[in-house]
Amino acid sequence: MAAKKAKKAKKSRKKAKKKAKKKTAGKSKKAPENPVSDGETPLESKSSEIRLKKKQLKKQLLALEVEEKKVQAKSFADEASTWARSSVDEIKHSDPYRRLSRMPEPLKYSLIFIFLLLVTVFGGMFLISIVLALTHSQPEAVVVESNSTIEESQMIETSTTVSTTSTTSTSTTSTTDSTTTLPQIVCAPPYMRFGLGCCLDLNNNTICDQDEADESTTTTLADYIRCNDDGDCGSIRTEYECRENDLFRVTISHFCKNPETRASSCETNVVEELVEPCGPMQQCFISRDGEGKCQNKYTRNNFIE
């Protein structure tokens, strides 16, 4: 029993020695590398160390970013220079036929088709314009059929007239002198005038004048125009004029000279009549409807009528 107790005591002493050794080793390991400054706790010293490390890391990151940007700029400059050299070499040694041969087949055929289509369209338009110009340069006369029979008519050249008027106390008649100017066609009913030298029938067919010196066998407008009576030259028109506070009536009428002949022409008569001399207390007045009258200047209230 005594031997057993002695063994247990030895074991307990060994265990105590081992524990003491471990404690001393842990204390030596846990000792800080940098001694704690006066008035600073271990936590504060650790936070300051962490802040220093962060600053160092930030500086390293900035340096790395600057280096990366420099490398990128250098690589970009190298790529630009190589691209410029390659483009210059390609321009120097470029061949359009080689480029066309490098194109894909569908794109090549579509471009050729579009080019041919444009050429045909513009060429066709050019040819059509030439044909139209040639056809319109020599118009042919068209025969107009009315409901009953084909009427032969004659061209009437109405020219501008120079009128010389002699005025009397009652009425004056003006005479007209014809001069040769641009012809204006007077179309016989049921035809209507179309432009200066053409007539239009009910079927929208036009009959146009041709030069008398033309040696073609086509008929001229003179074969289709007829001056039957005075009504073909225009209707009678009445106007009123105020002259020196006197009211005049002007009647403009037309008549057909040498009807149904090639020498026919429209003449114009202008008849001026003194309707009423307005007195000193009256004023010559023409209304919006074209009617003229002498009205009193003043009424009882000294207002104009």
Per-residue pLDDT reduced to its tens digit, 198-241: 777 667 777 765 444 344 444 445 545 556 777 777 778 889 99
**Could you tell me if 154 and 220 are in contact, meaning their C-beta atoms sit under 8 angstroms apart?**
no
- Beta-strand (E) ranges in the chain? 161-164, 171-178, 192-193, 198-200, 206-208, 237-243, 246-257, 265-277, 282-286, 292-296
Separation between Cα atoms, residue 142 and residue 197, nearest integer Å = 14
Phi and psi at residue 220, in whole multiples of 5°?
A: -100, 175
| 3 state SS of 265 | strand
Mean pLDDT of 250-273: 80
Tell me if the pTM is above 0.75. no
**Could you tell me if 296 and 282 are in contact, meaning their C-beta atoms sit under 8 angstroms apart?**
yes
> Considering the chain, what is the average pLDDT of its residues?
70
Per-residue pLDDT reduced to its tens digit, 43-67: 778 888 898 888 899 999 999 999 9
The residue type at 153:
S
Per-residue pLDDT reduced to its tens digit, 99-115: 666 677 888 888 899 99
Partners of 256 in the beta sheet? 266
